[in-house]
Homo-oligomer: A and B are copies of this chain.
Amino acid sequence: MSEEEKLVSRANEDFYRAFESLDIKRMESVWAHDEAIECGHPGWLILRGRKAVMESWRSIFENTAEIHFLLSEVTVHIQDNVAWVTLYENLSSAVGEQNVSAMVLTTNIFKKIDEGWRMIHHHGSSVAQPPSEDSGPTVH
């Protein structure tokens, strides 16, 4: 893994640590200050622009008691100042009285700015079946 790939990988990890922290300030700092940001939570319509995206995180954080992610099959691609990361989010979460487990296929796109790599796009979608033995997840 190149130095640049490590930085993208770290930015990607920062997103999930911010999500687990349920701290909106931390989540805000992961994303680019850019009106072009977009976010598609699993099953939701796409949200466009910082206001709509951050409101969605605030709402999710308010309704989540606890959430943990185990990331698998994380793959980083970099081209110029854009990076996209694909992975499975193996998540366990407490929403109200309910415990939820899910496997979510995710595309995260990051943009390189002076301060480092910032998220500009997040698209997560539920996966119908778990991976087969052959394509077993590699935990990163």
Give A contacts to B, CB under 8 Å. Answer: 36, 38, 40, 42-46, 48, 73, 75, 77, 79-82, 84, 86, 88, 105, 107, 109, 111, 120-121, 123-129, 131, 135
Contact = CB atoms under 8 A, between A and B. Distances in A.
A45 B79 contact: no
A127 to B, nearest CB: 6
A123 B126 contact: no
Nearest to A120: B77
Contacts of A109: 84, 107, 109
Contact of A127 (B36, B45, B75, B124): B45
Given A79-B81, A80-B80, A81-B80, A86 B45 contact: no
Contact of A40 (B46, B107, B135): B107
A81 B77 CA distance: 13
Contacts of A48: 75
B129 A105 contact: no
A121 B121 CA distance: 14
The list of the 3 closest CB pairs from A to B, nearest first, reads: A125-B125, A80-B80, A82-B82
11 contacts: A36-B77, A43-B125, A43-B126, A44-B128, A45-B135, A46-B73, A48-B75, A77-B121, A82-B82, A107-B109, A107-B123
